């Protein structure tokens, strides 16, 4: 007998679990509506959607008949009775399938906000026309820095200008909300990121909008940013240098000292905040140049958070950039007198503060040979002398040479720096006149507090750019465009005493930038590596080889990054060639053929005559300077071997070393085995000490060729396997002013031990271009070898 229609409806109102547990669902209506609103099939409640028409409810289901028959047999066997039906008093709802994108409008997330979990489809309800629109980063993006620049617009769809504020907050309230001004529909915000997922909310408020002051912001946008700080790249170390008798204070106007203090703790907070601004600015510039948000990282420590007022008041601990404090063995008087001597153009001791800082830093970090460290320092004891009109204890210098990459700057502008995110906009718009009775700045360019902060933070970043290997450029931070650095963090500019400009809204085209060439350098720099980058190539060297028909081959095992081209008399590069990116493995160029004519055509027309100079950069960070392209590929590089009929031409590759030792003389020869096929090179003897003294090539008939001197007591021997036809295919040379050491590479993949100083100079790999072999050596020798390279033939 078939069950009645009422029994079927009762069964269909019971949960799936009730078929097994025989327990009724307590809140079927609530569960069903909750699941429907999340776009899921209900896991409890009615099996038939409430919106199903009556005709569906009246249909017969054979499978359900069988299930009901089994349940009745079980009930009869156990003596139980059917569960009474639960009356459905709720009005019909829409189908769950039509509710997958339904979100609450009146909830705390605001009108049209994305889901608070940062995932899922976008809302179907209309978004407020005044909801902030994020322009420079997408939802769910990954970054690696601590502070992120966010740029966006408000109300542009309405078609009229509007001012107000955008308040940025975290949904987990792990960081206090910070308000950022909106001017002419534009806004810029700085967001402090935690490692992991950062769910951010942007709320717009304006006095021109009647509903802006409600407790439930309706002009709201949510976005999720993922942060993964790098851990395998070398950090930029932040260091404050103090004299051994320093009280730990810095120059500041009296009212500023009264308001915020000028002790060491304040100095650390201000220096750290300036460093975060450097980091955020650099990441944004790299992103605009299509290199991702690459930027340098800092060594961090678990300490009291200093980037917001709430952390400072509550003592909240966070991972913050570590600022090392080094007490030097010099007094304040010695530091300041050294600087006075440095600023005196007639002084014999130039640059005294830089080696002083280098000595203190090496001692503090206990640097060992071959260990690179990147350190940017601030002299805390810098002092403005209003009588002599000079800043004592300050020098702006940066260098990327040697193992210690160092930059130094003074604290004379530190009083104007922000200490936390809430102070960034006030600090960069503070028009308080500079009181030269107490403070001053470089060249006294800054007549107001915000201009002083701009020059101090920007000029120190300029020196840090030198630390990363950037020279002066035609524009950007490495020129002196850092006087506009503040525009990267503001939507409007205050009155400038330097330009007499009354200020106004700031466009992206008016901002300070890193030059494109700086960004190309940073792309390959180890400090700018991202967590997902592949391992760096161990060989960063790059070399140039003259070839036939006036061609030049440029080779680099790690790939060629870009080539700077300089015309006659040019100091700043305005012409360059870019090669495919570091991670485009299928396109990366490890060898590039150039011609002098092509290089000249790339230069401006008024620079095409005269000497052409090149600077070639590899993806591994290596660099090669070619002082004169014409000399490299001209007759000077060629050597004719044999008679004109059966002879051939050897080409001298770019020489390593300065060849400037006293008594230095040129030396060269073609290998005997290259001129006579009945001779085989069987042994190489290397004479060395702290540098390379000489190399002796011995053949199977015991004949010898000597390059350099053979008088040193340290002798290294490397035998070639003549039975297998082993021959020399290249050299690894460490050189600087002279040749420090050498290693031999062979056709069987063997390497000799390294002979000489393995930590001296820079490493260069001399392996000929495709289709060419080494046929000799050439260079110069004084007391020891101070110039070396190879000759090649096709």
Structure tokens at 232: 């395998």
Give how far the C-alpha of residue 111 lies from the chain's centroid of Cα atoms, to the nearest Å.
37
Structure tokens at 630: 């014409």
The angle subtended at Cα 455 by Cα 450 and Cα 460, nearest 5°, is: 135
Radius of gyration of the chain (CA): 36
Structure tokens at 66: 């069988």
CA pair distance 283, 489, nearest whole angstrom: 13
CA pair distance 227, 238, nearest whole angstrom: 22
Catalytic residue status for 463: yes
Q: DSSP of 103-161, one letter per residue? A: --SSSTT-TTPPPTTS-SPPPSSPPPTTS-EE-SS-TT-EE--SEEEEEEESSTTTTS-
> Are the CB atoms for 410 and 381 separated by under 8 Å?
no
Burial status of residue 89 (CB atoms within 10 A of its CB: 0-12, 13-18, 19 or more): exposed
> Are the CB atoms for 281 and 485 separated by under 8 Å?
yes
Structure tokens at 167: 């308040």
**Phi, psi angle pair for 421, to nearest 5°:** -60, -40
**Marked catalytic residue, from 463, 493, 511, 564:** 463
CA distances from 566 to 70, 577, 625 (A): 92, 11, 11
Nearest to 694 by CA among 761, 729, 654, 739: 739
Q: Among all chains, which residue has been given the structure tokens 């011995």?
A: 698
CA distances from 618 to 232, 371, 473, 538, 562 (A): 21, 21, 19, 12, 7
CA pair distance 580, 621, nearest whole angstrom: 15
Structure tokens at 339: 């600087």
Helix axis angle for 264-288 and 449-467, nearest 10°, is 70
Q: Looking at the annotation, which residues are catalytic?
A: 463
């Amino acid at each position: 007998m078939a069950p009645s229609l009422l029994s079927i409806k009762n069964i269909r109102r019971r949960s799936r679990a009730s078929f097994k547990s025989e327990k009724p669902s307590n809140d079927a209506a609530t569960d069903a509506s909750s699941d429907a609103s999340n776009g899921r099939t209900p896991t409890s409640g009615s099996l038939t959607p409430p919106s199903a028409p009556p005709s569906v409810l009246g249909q017969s289901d054979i499978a359900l008949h069988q299930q009901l028959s089994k349940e009745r047999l079980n009930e009869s066997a156990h003596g139980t009775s059917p569960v009474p039906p639960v009356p459905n008093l709720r009005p019909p709802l829409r189908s769950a399938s039509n509710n997958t994108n339904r979100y609450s409008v009146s909830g705390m997330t605001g009108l049209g906000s994305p889901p608070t979990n940062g995932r899922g489809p976008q809302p179907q309800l209309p978004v407020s026309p005044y909801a902030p629109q994020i322009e420079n980063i997408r939802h769910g993006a990954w970054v690696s820095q601590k502070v992120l620049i966010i740029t966006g617009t408000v109300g542009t769809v309405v078609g009229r200008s509007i001012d107000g504020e955008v308040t940025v907050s975290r949904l987990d309230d792990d960081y206090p909300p910070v308000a950022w001004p909106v001017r002419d529909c534009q806004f810029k915000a700085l967001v402090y990121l935690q490692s992991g997922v950062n769910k951010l909310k942007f709320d717009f408020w304006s006095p021109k909008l009647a509903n802006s002051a409600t407790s439930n912001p309706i002009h709201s946008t949510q976005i999720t940013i993922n942060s993964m700080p790098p851990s395998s790249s070398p950090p930029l170390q932040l260091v404050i240098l103090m004299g051994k008798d320093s009280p730990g204070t810095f120059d500041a106007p009296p009212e500023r000292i009264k308001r915020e203090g000028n002790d060491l703790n304040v100095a650390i907070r201000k220096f750290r905040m300036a460093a975060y601004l450097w980091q955020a600015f650099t990441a944004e510039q790299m992103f605009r140049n299509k290199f991702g948000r690459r930027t340098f990282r800092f060594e961090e420590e678990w300490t009291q958070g200093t980037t917001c007022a709430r952390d400072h008041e509550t003592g909240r601990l966070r991972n913050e950039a570590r600022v090392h404090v080094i007490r030097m063995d010099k007094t304040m008087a010695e530091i300041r007198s050294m600087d006075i001597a440095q600023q005196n153009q007639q002084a014999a001791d130039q640059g005294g503060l830089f080696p002083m800082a280098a000595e203190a830093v090496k001692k503090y970090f206990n640097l060992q040979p071959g260990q690179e460290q990147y350190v940017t320092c601030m002299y805390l004891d810098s002092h403005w002398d209003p009588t002599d009109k000079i800043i004592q204890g300050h020098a702006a210098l940066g260098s990327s040479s040697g193992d210690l990459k160092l930059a130094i700057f003074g604290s004379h502008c530190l009083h104007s720096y922000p200490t936390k995110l809430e102070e960034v906009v006030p600090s960069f718009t503070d028009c308080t006149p500079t009181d030269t009775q107490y403070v001053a700045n470089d060249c006294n360019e800054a007549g107001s507090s915000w201009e002083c902060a701009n020059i101090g933070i920007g000029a120190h970043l300029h020196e840090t750019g030198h630390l990363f290997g950037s020279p002066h450029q035609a524009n950007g931070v490495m020129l002196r465009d850092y006087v506009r650095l503040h525009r990267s963090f503001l939507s409007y500019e205050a009155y400038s005493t330097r330009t007499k400009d009354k200020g106004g809204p700031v466009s992206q085209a008016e901002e300070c930038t890193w030059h494109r060439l700086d960004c190309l350098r940073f792309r390959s720099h180890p400090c700018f590596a991202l967590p997902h980058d592949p391992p760096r190539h161990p060989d960063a060297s790059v070399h140039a080889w003259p070839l036939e028909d006036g061609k030049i081959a440029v080779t680099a095992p790690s790939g060629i990054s870009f080539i700077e081209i300089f015309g006659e008399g040019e100091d700043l590069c305005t012409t360059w060639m870019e090669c495919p990116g570091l991670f485009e493995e299928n396109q990366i160029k490890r060898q590039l053929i150039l011609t002098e004519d092509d290089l000249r055509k790339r230069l401006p027309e008024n620079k095409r005559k005269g000497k052409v100079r090149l600077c070639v950069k590899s993806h591994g960070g290596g660099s090669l300077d070619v002082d004169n392209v014409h000399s490299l590929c001209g007759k000077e590089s060629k050597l004719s071997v044999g008679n004109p009929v059966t002879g051939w031409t050897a080409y001298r590759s770019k020489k390593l070393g300065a060849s400037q030792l006293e008594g230095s003389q040129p030396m060269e020869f073609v290998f005997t085995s290259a001129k006579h096929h009945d001779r085989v090179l069987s042994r190489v003897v290397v004479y060395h000490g702290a540098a390379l003294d000489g190399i002796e090539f011995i053949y199977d008939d015991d004949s010898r060729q000597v390059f350099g001197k053979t008088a040193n007591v340290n002798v290294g021997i490397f035998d070639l396997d003549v039975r297998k036809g082993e021959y020399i295919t290249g050299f690894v040379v460490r050189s600087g002013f002279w040749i420090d050491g050498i290693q031999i590479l062979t056709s069987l993949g063997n390497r000799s031990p390294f002979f000489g100083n393995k930590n001296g100079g820079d490493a260069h790999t001399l392996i000929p271009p495709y289709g060419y072999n080494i046929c000799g050596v050439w260079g110069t020798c004084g007391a020891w070898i101070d110039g070396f390279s190879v000759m090649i033939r096709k």
